[in-house]
């Protein structure tokens, strides 16, 4: 199938694009390189430089191209930035998604797989978090993703679009030569590995008095390969007129201290840690219920161990100690 991958120069999009190519699909990447890297785009994929905020860009990309579907990863995804600059988040994540959906309808593209997030749930009443949990986002990032989910649902009903929203928890690991390189990096594992590489002095533990076994916050980490595999299944299972919403996590929680300990074992480095107060709005535990995705897609995690995720991320970090070449990024041009 011919597929458009928005955000295919970013961490997750570039790896899902690889898996799509490895399984015989034709991939066109659509990205403005604002937060991604030209070097991350798979060599076999065509790259269209375009911006979702300009309605004509996605329309031109999809017009008359015979696309069987879109995988929509392009977004802004920094919680702190979203609180300071909500307008940016609604413009890219909501208006950008609207422009894409209208371009899909105009171009007759039947299927969509969308990167949603557990940030739509905010502070959950129950953990593991099921899809029936009330969405109560605590920041503009989560709210913008929830708004995009609503848009998608309405387009499915009105235009017979087939869509699956996958609500990711914490994504980790690497796939061969492709891995995680955000600027700024806010994710725990790559930040721990920067300490292991000697690029930063210590890692901060935000909050040591949570009601968890070791007092640090617990999060659900999923290997990027398992996450990517779910996208292929979602493409196969999407049905016209239906919008399926599925949580996508490992179903296992790991505390911040556990993650640091495993990283020490995997890297053989001491990785000094500094304790700091809790960050406002950080819940004690965020773990996905994965019953619905197992039933709907037959998806099962193949790499559930934290060791594997960290070992793969470590191999990427060692091969790319400064990330992808900064000169390839529009952000630094
Ligand atoms: N990384 C995680 O753990 C995680 C967790 C939950 C949800 N998600 C979601 O997954 C998706 C991908 O995350 P990621 O970590 O790969 O992010 P990323 O920042 O690495 O990739 C996003 C890509 O989108 C592109 N982009 C941004 N604005 C654009 C625009 N207006 N037009 C065209 N391209 C644009 C960027 O240049 C970048 O290449 C995002 O939608 C994010 O919200 C990620």
pLDDT digits (tens, 9 = 90+) for 208-243: 999 999 999 999 999 999 999 999 999 999 999 999
Domains of the chain: 2-172+222-248 (3.40.50.720), 188-220+251-327 (3.90.25.10)
Is the pLDDT at 333 greater than 80? The verdict is no
Whether residue 299 has its Cβ less than 6 Å from ligand 1? no
Query: Is residue 18 predicted with pLDDT exceeding 50?
Result: yes
Would you say residue 21 has pLDDT above 90? yes
Atom number in ligand 1 closest to CA 330: 37
| Long-range Cβ pairs for the range 182-191 (8 Å, 24+) | 182/11, 182/35, 183/35, 183/323, 183/329, 183/331, 184/78, 186/78, 186/79, 186/80, 188/219, 188/256, 188/259, 189/221, 189/259, 189/263, 189/309, 189/310, 189/313, 190/313, 190/317
Task: State percent of the chain over pLDDT 70.
Answer: 98
pLDDT value at 157 more than 90: yes
Distance 166 CA to ligand 1 centre (A): 14
CA of 73 to the centre of ligand 1 (A): 5
pLDDT in tens, 175-192: 999 999 999 999 999 999
CA-proximal residue: ligand 1, atom 36 (nearest): 35
* CB distance 31 to ligand 1 below 6 Å: yes
- pTM for the model: 0.96
- At residue 328 the predicted structure's pLDDT band, cuts being 50, 70 and 90, is very low
- Amino acid 325: pLDDT: 76
Cα radius of gyration (the chain): 19
171 ligand 1 Cβ < 6 A: yes
Residue 149, ligand 1, Cβ within 6 A: no
The reply to whether ligand 1 has any atom less than 6 angstroms from the CB of 8 is: no
Quick check: 312 pLDDT over 50? yes
CA nearest ligand 1 atom 10, residue: 115
| Minimal-distance CA residue to ligand 1 atom 28 | 75
Q: Which residues are catalytic?
A: 141
Q: Which of 6, 11, 173 to mutate to test the pocket of ligand 1 (most atoms within 8 A of CB)?
A: 11
Q: Distances from the Cα of 58 to the Cαs of 30, 49, 88, 98, 145, in angstroms?
A: 8, 10, 18, 10, 19
Instruction: Compute, in angstroms, the gap from residue 269 CA to the centroid of ligand 1.
Output: 30
| pLDDT computed for residue 65 by the predictor | 81
Confidence band of 280 (pLDDT split at 50, 70, 90): confident
| Euclidean distance between CA atoms 54 and 13, whole angstroms | 20
Confidence of residue 329 (pLDDT cuts 50, 70, 90): very low
Q: Ligand 1, from 4, 5, 12, 191: best to mutate by most atoms within 8 Å of Cβ?
A: 12
**Beta carbon of 166 within 6 Å of any ligand 1 atom:** no
State the pLDDT at residue 326: 52
Residue 294 has pLDDT above 70, yes or no: yes
pLDDT value for 299: 98
Q: What is the overall mean pLDDT for the chain?
A: 95
**How confident is the model over 296-325, as a mean pLDDT?**
96
Give me the mean pLDDT over the 194-212 stretch: 97
Q: pLDDT confidence of 324, banded at 50, 70, 90?
A: very high
Q: Is 73 in the pocket of ligand 1 (CB under 6 A)?
A: yes
Q: With a 6 A CB cut-off, is 9 part of the ligand 1 pocket?
A: yes
Mutate to test the pocket of ligand 1, among 53, 77, 99, 234 (most ligand atoms within 8 A of CB): 77
């Amino acid at each position: 199938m011919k597929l458009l991958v928005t955000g295919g120069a970013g961490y997750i999009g570039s790896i899902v694009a690889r898996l799509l190519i490895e399984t015989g699909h034709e991939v066109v990447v659509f990205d403005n390189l604002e937060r991604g890297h030209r070097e991350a785009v798979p060599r076999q994929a065509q790259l269209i430089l375009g911006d979702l905020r300009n309605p004509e860009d996605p329309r031109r990309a999809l017009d008359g191209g015979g696309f069987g579907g879109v995988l929509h990863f392009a977004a802004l995804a920094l919680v702190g930035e979203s609180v300071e600059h909500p307008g940016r988040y609604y413009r890219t994540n909501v208006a950008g998604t609207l422009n894409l959906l209208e371009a899909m309808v105009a171009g007759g593209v039947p299927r969509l797989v969308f990167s949603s997030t557990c940030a739509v749930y905010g502070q959950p009443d129950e953990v593991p978090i099921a899809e029936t949990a009330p969405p109560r986002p605590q920041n503009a990032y989560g709210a913008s993703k929830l708004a995009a989910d609503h848009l998608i649902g309405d387009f499915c009903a009105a235009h017979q679009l087939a869509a699956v929203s996958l609500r990711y928890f914490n994504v980790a690991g690497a796939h061969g030569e492709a891995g995680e390189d955000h600027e700024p990096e806010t994710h725990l594992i790559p930040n721990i590995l920067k300490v292991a590489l000697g690029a930063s002095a210590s890692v901060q533990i935000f909050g040591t008095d949570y009601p968890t076994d070791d007092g640090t916050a617990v999060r659900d980490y999923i290997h990027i390969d398992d996450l990517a595999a779910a996208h292929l299944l979602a493409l196969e299972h999407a049905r016209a007129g239906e919008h399926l919403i599925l949580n996508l996590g490992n179903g296992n929680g790991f505390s911040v201290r556990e993650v640091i300990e495993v990283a020490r074992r995997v890297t053989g480095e001491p990785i000094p840690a500094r304790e700091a107060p809790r960050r406002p709005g950080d819940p004690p535990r965020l773990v996905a219920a994965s019953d619905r995705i197992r039933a709907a897609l037959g998806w099962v995690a193949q790499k559930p161990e934290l060791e594997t995720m960290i070992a793969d991320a470590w191999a990427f970090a060692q091969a790319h100690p400064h990330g992808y070449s900064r000169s390839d990024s529009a952000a630094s041009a």
